[in-house]
Structure 1
Amino acid sequence: MDETLTDIDESDLESLTDIFALPFTVQEWDEEANLSLAHLSFIINILLPKRLITLDRDSNMESQLKEFCESKNIQNAVAVGSSAEGFNIPNSMTIETDSHIDTNCDVDILLLEKGFQISNSLVFRQETNVHATLESCDVHPGYTKVRVYKYKDNEDISTLKDKVYLNGKQKQGKRFVRFNLQSDKDDEKVILMHGPAVSVEYSTTLNAENISKYGLRTSLDIVLALPVTDWPSEARLWIERSKQSKWLGKEFVDNIVSDGCHVVPVAHKNSHNPDIEWRISFATSEKQIARNAIIDEQRQCYIYFKLLRHLCLKDLDVISSYCLKTVFFYACERIPKPMWEIHTGQCLIYLIDSLVNCVKRKNIPSYFIPENNLVDHIPYENWQALEKRLVQIRKDPISPILKFTDSRMIGKEVIPYVFRENISYVLEDNEKFKIHRDIKRSASYAFLTTSFRMSLLLLNSGKAKESVDILTDSYPTINRYLGPMPLNYYLNNVAILIEDSRLLLLLLQELVAMSNEQSEFECFRENLACAYHAVAYTYHEDSTERNEHLHKAEEIMIGEIHSNGLNSCGVMYGIILMSQKKFQEASNTFESIINEKDEIEQYTLAFGKSEQIFLDTDLQSEIATNGNIEARWVYFAYYFLVKCFDQKDKIPKLSIIFNDFQQICETSQDTVGFKLLAYSYKQRGEMCKAEKAFLEVSKLCPNDEFILTLITKCNQNMNM
């Protein structure tokens, strides 16, 4: 071990990491990008929803690795890198007739050789089982030589200045020879040597037709790795820095340190002895951090950051994705997790600014060993083009993504229209927000509208689950600005906006199916019955389809009443009975609700555009004007009871019902109650009483022009 490293002052290392000490400040508007950070956050969330970047999304990768290792009799293989960490860019598919799938990543494999023990200790004891120690003199920071003390005659070793060192190039080369170099005709697999790695690549282009045969395969890069039993002294200050940041926590840091590290046969680009130089690898430590310390919002932000690099910087071959991960880890140390959850867009800007700062200084300090500048081998002339492109990314972090998604879809669900069109309301509203700065207005006009439109497009394609996914993706953002509200309340409000009853039925069927896992979705069962009822009216009267849907609606309602009592869905049950001309049963149901009005006072019922098909013309006009009609159960119970009695010619009893109806409206001074009373009188031809009820509504809502129109019509009818 290089003893000079142990003498480095802690303040010197702090100066190395000061490159990442940019202040994190929350702003609603970024002048340089001419962009609302809330709008950017929403775009990131819609493009890369949490379900698309979850840790479990690449289960196929593990099975692929297992299959390959079993076929080659390989043991002690550990997946690391972006795919194993959940940091890989999701698969994308080209939007064309002969589409193909881009996996955008490969899988890094550490092939552990556990029979060879390496210690970091300067003191070597002959009686121990240790074969070698690390020696970091005359090497670039972050790299080492493996000095061997115990070895066999056929060991891969080299001698330098009378010292014996492990030859990484020879050792990795022997591993390569053991693999079968022939292509496999079944899946067109080829094994190649790329630098220090054995690469398993697939030449077949995946598309929608052959993916069922091959699965979502990714290339494998296999590198020999030797375990080091203890933590390298070069990285000891990372321990204190990590504990001070409070991001990882003392116990988690201690666990990482106790696992030690690895060395891999990779020399620094400017090494004088590349055959015997090894890189100190923290790949397994990084995997632990990625899988246990990163929240979904951090992952979303970082993958968007990686996608920008993939689209705008990869061809320059200056900044690797590992450099981006280093910048990201430093940012995680400095930015509290709640900030990532609420201000994802601001965090992305911070990542870009941090990378710009690094590039200006031509220094990206390794996360574990800051003295190791990850880019100090890059020729000076390569930096100018990189800086220029980074300036463009900083000024516009959205356009490269839009250009990419103009011809590709990220993820599995195929949403009609390209991403640019789907978020057009958000892009348009960004300019408006610059002026009005009302985030609630933007959340309602842009964020909610965008989610609803995308959900509706999926419903039209018969993809109910994906439709629900889109709505739940946007819920945290909508709830943050328009809430607080429970998820089921939000979904119900969205459902009311759906005009096509068949699409509403599709959505509600999916929500009820999900209630086994999400119990709060049980509340949609009554809505499902209502949707069946609405769809029934799209078929001819007395048709088999209509009767089947009405029967299904009644069946669901009976089940709800059996489980939760009449108060759970009594009004809608009565309406369904009326649709089947069961007026006596319906009137009994409504009267029961009225008799228990004190117990159900808090319950309300709403009808939206998709349900107006089975309502009378007055309620249809109300919904067409206001989007929906919502009232307490008892008002609807009186309203439909009047209709039942009218059908049954119970004229004497009607006067009693009207008196009770009017009395409860006058007591509560409820606007919608008076409206329903007025409509009831109007439908009975009692225009004078209808006008009086509408006048009560006008007193409560003096600026309601729709009501003024209804009053005028009542006057006209009375004068005819």
Structure 2
Amino acid sequence: MYQLGRNRYLFGDDDEEQLKNEAAFHRAYAVRDAIVNNEVLSTMRPMTQDICKALVGEEGPPLETLKVPDVLTWDAQTGLPHLHVSFILNHFIPRRHITRLYSLWMLHRFQTYLAEEFSDTPDIVPELAGSIPEGFAVPAHNPRVQFTETGLNAVPLDDMDVESSDSDMVIVAVTKIVSVERSPSTRWFMETDSCYPGYCRLVATTPELTDPSFLVDNTEKKCMYLNGNAILDAILQGSLLRLKMTGEELQEGELVRHGPAVTNLPRNRFRSKLVETDFVFAMPCTEWPDVPKKWLDRPTKSGWPSKVFKKKLIAEGCLVVCIPHRTSKWREVEWRISFSRAERALANSLTDIHRQCYVLLKVLVKGTLEPAQFISSYHLKTLLFWSCERFPQSMWQKDDASLGTCFLALLDELQHCLINRNLPHYFYPDNNLFSHIAPDFMVDVCKKVNWLRRNIAEAVFQFDVAEVFSFTPRALQLSALLGPLAHDEHYEETKQAYAAYCKVLLLLSKAVLLNGNCDDMIDYAREACQIQQVVFGKEVDFVSVVMETLETCSSPTRYMANSLETILRRFPSKRNIPWIKSNLACIYHAFFYSNELSDDRERVLARAGGLFREAVASPGATAASWTDYANFLFKEAASPLEVTEAVEQVINLSKSGPIVLNSYDESDIPSLPDEIGEDIRQDGTLVVPSVMYAIYLSVVARLCDGCHDEEKVAQSIRQMTEFLSGLTEPSEVFSSSKLLGYCLMATADYSGAKEAFQKAQESIQNKKQSSVVGERILLCDAMKLSLS
């Protein structure tokens, strides 16, 4: 059985944002085994041994009895054993219906016809491309409703639909030879300057020998380019070729331009004699360009394809087809370098289980993405070729569970490519086949593929309800036949085992942290979060888990600073990096004022300031980060203008988004204004809307300046009052009302301050907090009397 490894993904390293599956658990299993065998306990200090021993006590189940399913035989995302997945897929599209013999039979029908029809045009040789010659043909299928309407129990195979991608044709002008470089013996050579990788322009070395209507003059480079657009129009208008390409007389409108191809349209969906076919024009090149030649020396983990086989394919040359890149500025004269001949040979070297996995992937992915089908057959074929290089050949064995293992692995690779918006061309890796896809659209596709990954059985059953293959039983739908497999009775037991194991990992993360190892602590927390995401569908950010773990330590400040610094070092591209930097800056800022620091005080303060500036300069900076930065500026006696500028950012962000909160506890007291610190000492914590605390800081900063603008102070207080009127959550009303009260007291408006404190008192049920606010109310009354 194929061992799913940590670096199994094709392109790039693991990333915490990726959709994980079984590979995420391997390292954790090794840790579990080490704990059971006391290998970890024996290397820890006594203080951490006690925590680890708690893993077999009240904190968690006995590890000796904890049976976490083997990821080699059980898939966490579907909740099914690989054997179940294999059984469902093999009954959906049996391997015997997509063997090489099936494709050879269909290929023979086309080739016999082509040999007869093009026998009198030796300068034009048609080559069948796509799924049929590659052995990847999808079995014929039709909507199930047709059987209900017609009362048929079966439809003849010749009358069932075959996908249009199964019948693409390349019209090769074999006498028009292209050279990679300029040569006296050829009429055309490739120019790749300023072209997207895998594309070129064809320069005419002897333009006088070519019809001028097929050329485009480039005055800047003083050369003539071959116009592929004009060639396609000529093909479309040529009546002889029109007849040869289709095999029968065409009616008006049945042969049309379809992007860079000429397409004949089917007359109807059911019992159609004319199959939809795309025709593209190509010219041969006897050698490969330099970049794809590097494929010869590219190492493969599987040993496929062999170097001897690669040399043979390279010696056969390639084609250039008149298809420009989607983003090309030279659409009329840009050509794609095609390796369809090599791809056909590579596909035919694969086994039947490769074919079955590809066909299943094609049917289910396209069925799931309908109608947003930007994932083409070519994308999936490219993915398969990369996987064949990376996965060992032992993976593709014909045992009972291998189909499920292979299919799920291919889906995981597809998810990875979609998330990273990168699917490298097989021969031109710098050519990203997903580069033109809009991010928003990609997100929607990722969600659909993610659903498919978690619901393989459901996707199969949905397709079976809508469509029927020529071999599908009509009397009984697959959901009735295979439904019990999709709801395995051991699934709940499996989830309980994983839930227990998550507790083990989190406790272990704390143990290794106390032993001084931040990296291992982060790794264990990540493993726990990945299990939560994959098995239970819970999106848990491991940074939050790390923070919660740190807060339970006896002296969390140093641990928290070291851990967040480690996260910044290891995951610099993490989406919530601004939040992490802001929190780390707050820790350093508070640490600067604490008694724990005896030296390097200025360096710590400088680090805090640098992190704050980096956090707010990031595109994803939140109102909370800007508020913490405003607090830093206020505490370090920055000018009121600087504080106000930061506050304005908070106000603007708050207008366009939901209410964001800032939370402070006793560890933050040294870095906060005195009256806020006193509140926290009495209440234990302060949770306040960011915009309210930010405006409070701007008011206090102006008043402390001594030459403040009274109108601007009054304007800020009006903003606080307006924002407070829209709050409904009692805790938010309580903290915001107190801040408003402090601002009004600072301006000697004791009546207004008393009303604000009374509003805070009415919003909270906590007697201790209520009594503290009551003292503020009495203070306001006393100040009013002294003024009178």
TM norm structure 1: 0.53
CA distance in 2, matches of 1:184, 1:280: 29
Whole-Å Cα distance in 2 between the matches of residues 253 and 153 of structure 1?
Answer: 35
1:267 counterpart SS class: coil
The 8 Å contact of residues 300 and 390 in structure 2, kept in 1 or not, is answered as no
Cα 1:187–1:131 change in 2 (3 A) is: closer
Partner of 1:499: none
Alpha-carbon spacing, 1:270–1:358, altered in 2? closer, same or farther (3 Å): same
Equivalent residue number for residue 177 of structure 2: 117
- Aligned residue in 1 for 2:148: 97
- Residue 670 of structure 2 corresponds to none
Q: Which residue of 2 aligns with 1:257?
A: 314
Question: Is 1:297 matched with 2:353?
Answer: yes
Deviation at 1:307, TM superposition (A): 1.0
1:184-199 equivalence runs, <5 A:
190-199=254-263
The 1:110–1:380 alpha-carbon spacing in structure 2 relative to 1, beyond 3 Å, is: same
Q: Is the 8 A contact 1:134 1:145 kept in 2?
A: yes
CA distance 1:270–1:69, change in 2 (3 Å):
farther
Change (3 A) 1:163 1:436: closer
**Distance in 1 of aligned mates of 2:128 and 2:317:** 17
One-letter identity of the residue aligned with 2:308: E
Partner of 1:554: none
Residue deviations 1:389-444 (CA, integer Å, cap 9, x gap): 1221121122111111124322335453112222245335x33477599xxxxxxx
Whether contact under 8 Å (1:110, 1:222) holds in the other structure is: yes
Following the alignment from structure 1 to structure 2, what is the Cα–Cα distance between the partners of residues 315 and 309? 11
Q: Does 1:78 align with 2:127?
A: yes
Please give the residue correspondences for 1:380-391 in structure 2 after superposition, counting only pairs within 5 Å: 380-391=439-450
Distance 1:68 1:329 in 2: 29
Decide whether aligned partners of structure 1 residues 150 and 372 sit closer, same or farther in structure 2, where only a CA change above 3 A counts. Answer: same
Partner of 2:136: 87
Matches within 5 A, 1:266-345: 266-292=323-349, 294-341=350-397, 342=399, 343-345=402-404
Instruction: Give the match's secondary structure for 1:423.
Output: helix
TM-aligned CA deviation for residue 284 of structure 1 = 1.2
Contact 1:314 1:320 in 2 (8 A): no
Alignment match, 2:12 = 18
Between the aligned partners of 1:221 and 1:103, the Cα distance in structure 2 is: 14
Counterpart of 1:373 in structure 2 is: 432
CA distance in 2, matches of 1:125, 1:168: 21
Quote how far apart the aligned CAs of 1:149 are: 0.7
In structure 2, the residue matched to 1:57 is: 102
Secondary structure of 2:412's counterpart equals helix
Deviations 1:309-354 (CA, angstroms, capped at 9, x unpaired): 2101242133222111111111111112321224221221111111
Q: 1:394 aligns with which of 414, 436, 453?
A: 453
Partners of 1:411 and 1:145 in 2: CA distance: 45
2:250 and 2:223 map into 1 onto residues whose CA distance is 47
Distance 2:248 2:293 in 1: 49
Please give the alpha-carbon distance, in whole angstroms, between the structure 1 residues aligned to 2:296 and 2:409.
24
Structure 1: gaps spanning 5 or more residues: 1-14, 438-720
**Contact 1:167/1:275 (<8 A) preserved:** yes
Residue 403 (structure 1) aligns with:
462
Distance in 1, matches of 2:356 and 2:129, equals 19
| 1:179 Cα deviation after fit | 3.9
Which aligned pairs between 1:651-662 and structure 2 lie closer than 5 A? none
Q: CA deviation at 1:184?
A: 9.1
Provide closer, same or farther for how the CA distance between residues 377 and 69 of structure 1 changes in structure 2, counting only shifts above 3 A: farther
- Which aligned pairs between 1:503-522 and structure 2 lie closer than 5 A? none
Amino acid in structure 2 at the alignment position of 1:400 = A
| Match status 1:67 vs 2:113 | yes
Identity %: 26
Q: 2:200 aligned with 1:144, yes or no?
A: yes
Q: SS at 1:171's partner residue? A: helix
- Secondary structure of residue in 1 paired with 2:128: strand
Query: Structure 1's 86 and 234: CA in aligned 2 closer, same or farther, altered over 3 A?
Result: same
Give yes or no for contact 1:119–1:230 (8 Å, CA) kept in 2.
yes
Q: Is the 8 A contact 2:300 2:389 kept in 1?
A: no
CA contact (8 A) 1:231 1:260 kept: yes
Q: CA separation in 1, counterparts of 2:98 and 2:227?
A: 39
How many angstroms does 1:305 deviate by? Answer: 0.8
Q: 1:244 to 1:118 in 2, by over 3 A?
A: farther
Determine the C-alpha separation between the residues in 2 that align with 1:218 and 1:192. 14
Over 3 Å counting, the alpha-carbon distance change for 1:286 and 1:153 in structure 2 is closer
Superposition deviation, residue 66 in structure 1: 4.5
Note the C-alpha offset of 1:368.
Answer: 0.7
CA distance in 1, matches of 2:161, 2:459: 17
Paired residue total:
411
Query: Counterparts of 1:77 and 1:276 in 2: how far apart (Å)?
Result: 22
Counterpart selection for 2:478 from 411, 416, 419: 419
Give the counterpart letter for 1:417 in structure 2.
L
Deviations 1:20-75 (A, max 9, x none): 99997862111122121111112222222222002232434542465367557664
1:371 Cα offset (Å): 0.2
Closer/same/farther in 2, CA of residues 227 and 244 from structure 1, 3 Å limit = farther
Deviation (angstroms), 1:150: 2.5
> How far apart are 1:111 and its partner, in Å?
0.7
Shift in alpha-carbon separation, 1:258–1:245, aligned structure 2, 3 A: farther
Q: Is the 8 A contact 1:136 1:145 kept in 2?
A: yes
Asked if structure 1 preserves the Cα contact closer than 8 Å seen for 2:200 and 2:335, the reply is yes
Matched, 1:42 2:100: no
Shift of 1:194: 0.8
TM-superposed deviation, 1:379: 2.3
Cα distance in 2 for partners of 1:318, 1:310 equals 9
- Judge conservation of contact 1:242–1:249 (CA < 8 Å) in 2: no
| Conserved? CA contact 1:16–1:371, under 8 Å | no
How much does 1:278 deviate?
Answer: 0.5
Deviations 1:547-577 (A, max 9, x none): xxxxxxxxxxxxxxxxxxxxxxxxxxxxxxx
1:158 partnered with 2:216: yes
Amino acid at match of 1:251: V
- Provide the secondary structure at the position in 1 that maps to 2:489: helix
Select between 410-419 and 66-75 the one with higher mean Cα deviation.
66-75
> Is the contact made by 1:77 and 1:111 (CA closer than 8 Å) also made in structure 2?
yes
Would you say the 8 A contact 1:83–1:105 is kept in 2? no
Q: Which residue type is aligned with residue 332 of structure 2?
A: D
Distance 1:187 1:427, change over 3 A: farther
Q: Is the 8 A contact 1:231 1:261 kept in 2?
A: yes
- Look up the equivalent residue of 2:464 and give its one-letter code: T
RMSD: 3.1
Letter in 2 for 1:347: C
Name the CA shift for 1:403/1:222 in 2 (closer, same or farther; >3 Å): same
CA 1:64 to 1:235, structure 2 compared with 1: closer, same or farther past 3 Å?
Answer: closer
CA contact (8 A) 1:118 1:229 kept: yes
Checking the alignment, whether the CA contact within 8 Å between 1:16 and 1:365 is kept in structure 2 is: no
CA distance in 1, matches of 2:284, 2:14: 30
Q: Judging changes above 3 Å, is the alpha-carbon distance between structure 1 residues 197 and 185 closer, same or farther for their aligned structure 2 residues?
A: closer
- The alpha-carbon distance between structure 1 residues 158 and 269, as it changes in their structure 2 partners (threshold 3 A), is same
The unaligned stretches of length 5 or more in structure 2 are 1-8, 27-70, 496-788
**Residues 134 and 105 of structure 1: CA distance in aligned 2, closer, same or farther (over 3 Å):** same
Paired residues for 1:178-577 under 5 Å = 178-179=238-239, 190-206=254-270, 210=271, 214=273, 218-241=275-298, 245-292=302-349, 294-341=350-397, 342=399, 343-412=402-471, 414=473, 416-428=475-487, 430-432=488-490, 435=493
